Each structure stands twice: as structure tokens, then as C-alpha cells.
Structure 1
Amino acid sequence: MRICFVGAGALGSTIGGTLARGGADVWLIDPFRAHVEAINAHGLRMLEGEVESVAKVTACTSAAEVDGVADLVIVLVKSYHTRDAIRTAAPIIGPQTVVMSLQNGLGHEEILSEEVGRGRVMAGKTYVGGVLLGPGHVRSGVIGKETIIGELDGRLTERAQRISDTFNRAGILTLLSDNILGTMWDKLFINVAGGGITAITGLTYGGLYSLPILEDCALAAISEGIAVAQAAGVKISIVDPRRAWTMASAGLPAEFKTSMLQSLQSGSLTEVEYIHGSVVRWGAKFNVPTPVNAALVALVKGLEYARSDYPGKA
């Protein structure tokens, strides 16, 4: 199976490198030229615990450089780049190509469906982790971390099974879901638990889980999300906000930084509108108040705006 990653940062490289070691024909597409050149020159160095290995993958800065079309395109760019990214991937999308998002938050599948057609699109969520240590070098966290994929209409199809089998053969624990929307909301609750709060406070997980007042805020934000999902008729498995709060930090060191905090500290836009913002938008649609999530969105956007390079700032 030829698998092309549109977006090969820490997570894309981790999953892509693992799939390549499992025998898949993997291409990593990313504009970070130094990363691409290091991978092509020396392979993708993957540090797991204290053991380092090298995965043989092909990397490029443009989909136009890929030799032929893909069987599977996995989108792992920042949420706000989704539409532009899938448009640039046109050269590798053939009649049978499946396009799947593994991004955090909600709303990506709608964008992808508008661009390539809903019938091509699958959805997924992953608990795999990765840290970019330098060009061509990642710390990967795959062992024991689930990935869940499924068709948007809940059918258990042959193509979904084929993708699941490919992931599992490579050592990525992958489950098929007939309720992928519910799975996506469950993962959203975990992102809601710490994303906005850590971005605003600058705290790692160690600090976040040390202050009861921050726990209260997180539980309130998660509770709003659960209420919205239930009002929308989504079948969720997380109905106790404390479960999402506990799951959010499971297996992570005290110094761990959420992706939203990392984005702010690196000067990038965050994905707050696809995480807390999704709760707010769905809440408005189903008449469920979401004041905590709305406040978190506003504060994170304010921090983004405070930077002189904020898009559209006068």
C-alpha cells in the first residue's frame, strides 16, 4: 500500500516511519526542507525509549514529486492549513485514493469532502505521540497507543479493513469503528481538557495538574462538550468529565506541553477554533450554552493577536 502523508511533522513522521518499517510504501510530504533532506540522506531516525532505529522512507516538499498516485493520503497538517494542503495534494489523488484525517478537533472531514468528494473521505483519531527532535529525527510514542478509524457513514468496509490491517501489521494498534463521530468527540474532550488552559497559562502538564482551580476550569469545559454532544445525538463513550481529565495526562511526563502551547510558543497559530471552537459552534447549533469554551477561545485568540505577525493585524 502506498501511503502519502500530507504534513510530516512529529506525528506524521512517527506514524509514517512506523508504517514504513512494517512494509508500506511511505512518502512524507512536508515544506520543512531541512527535515526532508535529512530523511532522504540518512533515513528517518526514530527514538523509542532508549532505542534508536532508522526507517527508510521517501520525503519531498511537494506532492508533485511523488511517483504516481497514493492508495491512502493521510492529512496531518495544522487544522487551518487543511484546505490548502489537500488542494496541493491533487497530483497524488487517483480514482481509488482514500483521504483520511488524523488531525485533532472537528471539522476537517467537511473540508476534505468539499475538496475531494465525501465518498473518498474516512476519519480517524490517534493517541500515538511524537516529538520532533531535529531534522530527520523524532521521538515516537507508538506502543500501547490506539488509533481508531472508520467510514463517515458507519459502514465497516473492505477499504477500512485493509487500512486497519496495514496499521496493525506495522505495530500501530488500530481499531475499526462504526461510530467514528463518537470517537472523534471522545478525543475532542481530551484535547479540551488541557489545550486552551495550558496555552493561556504557559503551564506544562505538571503545573496543570497541580492546581485544583485549573482542574475545575477543565472539568467545566469538558462538561460543556459532553452536553453539546448529547444534545446533538452523538453516541459518546466518555460521559464523566473526570474520565477525560484523567485520560488526557495518562502516560505523559510532567514536562509535557500540549500542542496548543507549543504552537503559541513557536509563534504559530493554534488549533483552538477546531477544538474549543468546535464545542462553541455545535453548542450554538443545538442551543447549549458553552461560556467556558467561548472564554478559552477568546483568550487564546487574544494571545495570538498580541503577536505583531498576526494575519490581518493592522
Structure 2
Amino acid sequence: MKILIVGAGAIGGYFGGRLLEKGEDVTFLVREKRREKLEQTGLNISSKNGDLQLTPKLITKEDPNQVFDVVLISTKSYQLEHAIKDVEPFVGPETMVLPLLNGIAHMQTLIEAFGEERVIGGLCFIETTLGEDGTIVQTSPVNQLIYGERTGEQTERIQKLEKSFTGTKADFVKSDNINQEMWHKYLFITTMSGITSMMEMPIGPIKELESGQQTIKTFLVELVAIMEKIDAPIQKGIAEVQLKRINSMSAEMKSSMQRDIEKFQPTEFEHLQGYLLLRAKEKAVQTPILELIYTKLKLYEQNLYADK
């Protein structure tokens, strides 16, 4: 299959690099400056699962149109609008659009842009960042990408995609219930990013405190209450499952949102916390912790742009 990776950043660059390592037909859609850099240095990955030095195929949005079988999008939510415009010329009638964004609100945006049939479900679990020299640095061994038809069907195209992904030195998992998987990830990342960003600490010191434990638990219960009110496809007891997961994380673990704040970069707070707060207001669900976290993140964002 012809696979297009939108961007060659920390997530797309990593999973695209692993597919390229296997021998799949992978192309990266990048900005001109990133292409110039990659043409000089190659695509370099420093990983717990093995380092890579690759020479990738690169295109920009100005290059002649060609149609791909799969388009993998892993941008930040605030970059999605531009990514859609950039990728439109490379999407054909049979193209699968596979998003790896955090949250859930982007799904409707992609469906409106590309159509109900083209968009499949996806998410990933990976701790990775882009170094100052452009190297993709994976800092923990977890490198899981989960994908599947949103209908749960075993279509011919999803089986072809599974064949392309199988044998890669990363954990590609086909799910028969990808909608639930995405909502469960949404619950986890909204909790983790909100708590660590609010407290300005990695998860360890927070979860060691009795008050920290109670805050995490109460926040999870708040978010689950919203999701239940809007009939999200979550399983019973998911708050307890995610609490155990958070408590099993290494003490030094930070959320990507927290790292973005530390670098004085924009965050995805509107896409994550903001979307659920909006839905809570629609359903008259009381969410004091969510409102507090949202307010802190909103003020951070206002100050960030006030300085520019």
C-alpha cells in the first residue's frame, strides 16, 4: 500500500520510520524547511526499541498530486485545519484517512472534510519528542498504534492495512471496537494532561499524596459522568481501570501538554478539556475540577499569546 504520513514529527516520523524500516512504501508530507533538513540529515530515530537512520521519500503540498491508499495524520489539534488543506490533493476515492490525534472532536472535522467512508479510527500510546537537532527521541519502550474500522467490520481494506502493518518493529494493533478505544484514550489523556498541567508536576508526587489520589479519582468520575450523559461508548468501571493505569505509571512521567507548557508552546486544552466542558454544560453536569483545570489552561493560553 502507498502510505502518506502527514509530517515527520515525533509521532508520525516514528511510526512512519518503523514502516519504512520494514520496507513499506512510505512518503512523508512535510514543510519545505523540514524537507531541506531531512534531505541533509535523513530521518533519525533514537529509540528504546532500536535506533534508525533512514532516507525517506519526501513531498510538500506544492508537489504534483498523487493519490495514496492510506493517509496517517498525527498533528496537534490546532494544526488540523492546515493539515487537511495540505493533504486534500493526495486523497482519492479509496483513500483511508487514519488519525492519531488525542481526543474525539477531530473525528467529525475529518468526516466533514473527507467523507464518512474514508475516515477510520485510530490512536496511539507512545512517549516521544523531537530533539533540537530534529532527531525523533522515543523515551520509553511503549510504541503502540491502534486502528480499525469505526463500524467494527472486517473489511477488505482494513485487512490489507493489517497486512502492511504486520511485522513492523512497533505494536500495531487492529481493533474491532475502535470507537470505544478512542473514548477510553480520551478519558485517560484528558485526566493525565489536566492533572499534571494543573499541579505543574510529574504524576509521581501527585499520586503519592492522599489528596492527589482523591483529586485524580474525582476528576475521572466527573469526566465519566459527562461521557455517560452524551452516550459515549465507554465500558462500565472505566474510571477504576484508568485510575489503576495512572497509579502504575512511573513517577517521572509527564503529559505532553505539561511538556508543551514548560516550553511555552500552545496546548490542545480546547480540544481535550474544552470539548468535554462544553458538553457538560449542554447536559447540566457539574464538573468543578474540570472547570478549574480549564480555567488555568485558558489563562496560560491567553498569557502565551499576549506575549507575542
Q: What count of residue pairs does the alignment treat as equivalent?
A: 308
In the alignment, what sits opposite 1:4?
Answer: 4
- Partner Cα separation in structure 2 for residue 17 and residue 193 of structure 1: 30
Task: Check the 8 A contact 1:224/1:279 in 2, yes or no.
Answer: no
* Cα distance, 1:40 vs structure 2: 2.3
Task: Check the 8 A contact 1:5/1:29 in 2, yes or no.
Answer: yes
In the alignment, what sits opposite 2:220?
Answer: 222
* Cα distance, 1:77 vs structure 2: 1.1
- Partner Cα separation in structure 1 for residue 149 and residue 85 of structure 2: 22
Task: Check the 8 A contact 2:127/2:142 in 1, yes or no.
Answer: no
* Cα distance, 1:66 vs structure 2: 6.6
- Partner Cα separation in structure 2 for residue 244 and residue 29 of structure 1: 35
* Cα distance, 1:92 vs structure 2: 1.1
Q: What pairs up with 1:140-159 in 2 under 5 angstroms?
A: 140=138, 145-159=143-157
Q: Cα gap change, 1:41/1:176 in structure 2, threshold over 3 Å: closer, same or farther?
A: same
- Partner Cα separation in structure 1 for residue 54 and residue 46 of structure 2: 11
In the alignment, what sits opposite 1:272?
Answer: 269
SS at match of 2:266: coil
* Cα distance, 1:103 vs structure 2: 0.6
In the alignment, what sits opposite 1:18?
Answer: 18
Equivalent in 140, 147, 158 of residue 160 of structure 1: 158
Amino acid at match of 1:8: A
* Cα distance, 1:277 vs structure 2: 2.2
Identity percentage of aligned residues: 26
Question: Is the counterpart of residue 56 in structure 1 residue 75 in structure 2?
Answer: no
Deviations, residues 74-94 of structure 1 (Å, cap 9, x unaligned): 111110221221112122112
Q: Cα gap change, 1:234/1:200 in structure 2, threshold over 3 Å: closer, same or farther?
A: closer
- Partner Cα separation in structure 2 for residue 212 and residue 59 of structure 1: 51
Q: Cα gap change, 1:50/1:114 in structure 2, threshold over 3 Å: closer, same or farther?
A: closer
Q: Cα gap change, 1:295/1:32 in structure 2, threshold over 3 Å: closer, same or farther?
A: farther
TM (normalized to structure 2)? 0.88
Task: Check the 8 A contact 1:199/1:261 in 2, yes or no.
Answer: yes
Equivalent in 253, 258, 261 of residue 261 of structure 1: 258
Amino acid at match of 2:11: L
* Cα distance, 1:200 vs structure 2: 2.8
* Cα distance, 1:119 vs structure 2: 1.4
Q: What pairs up with 1:102-121 in 2 under 5 angstroms?
A: 102-121=100-119
Task: Check the 8 A contact 2:146/2:175 in 1, yes or no.
Answer: yes
Q: Cα gap change, 1:217/1:97 in structure 2, threshold over 3 Å: closer, same or farther?
A: same
Q: Cα gap change, 1:7/1:288 in structure 2, threshold over 3 Å: closer, same or farther?
A: farther
- Partner Cα separation in structure 2 for residue 126 and residue 249 of structure 1: 20
Q: What pairs up with 1:163-242 in 2 under 5 angstroms?
A: 163-237=161-235, 239-242=237-240
Q: Cα gap change, 1:70/1:209 in structure 2, threshold over 3 Å: closer, same or farther?
A: same
Q: Which runs of 5+ in 2 are unaligned?
A: none
Task: Check the 8 A contact 1:72/1:100 in 2, yes or no.
Answer: yes
- Partner Cα separation in structure 1 for residue 238 and residue 204 of structure 2: 22
- Partner Cα separation in structure 1 for residue 269 and residue 21 of structure 2: 34
In the alignment, what sits opposite 1:41?
Answer: 40
In the alignment, what sits opposite 2:99?
Answer: 101
Q: Which runs of 5+ in 1 are unaligned?
A: none
Q: Which moved more, 1:269-278 or 1:106-115?
A: 269-278
* Cα distance, 1:142 vs structure 2: 8.0
Amino acid at match of 1:259: S
Task: Check the 8 A contact 2:48/2:141 in 1, yes or no.
Answer: no
Task: Check the 8 A contact 2:44/2:54 in 1, yes or no.
Answer: yes
Amino acid at match of 2:206: L
- Partner Cα separation in structure 2 for residue 199 and residue 256 of structure 1: 12
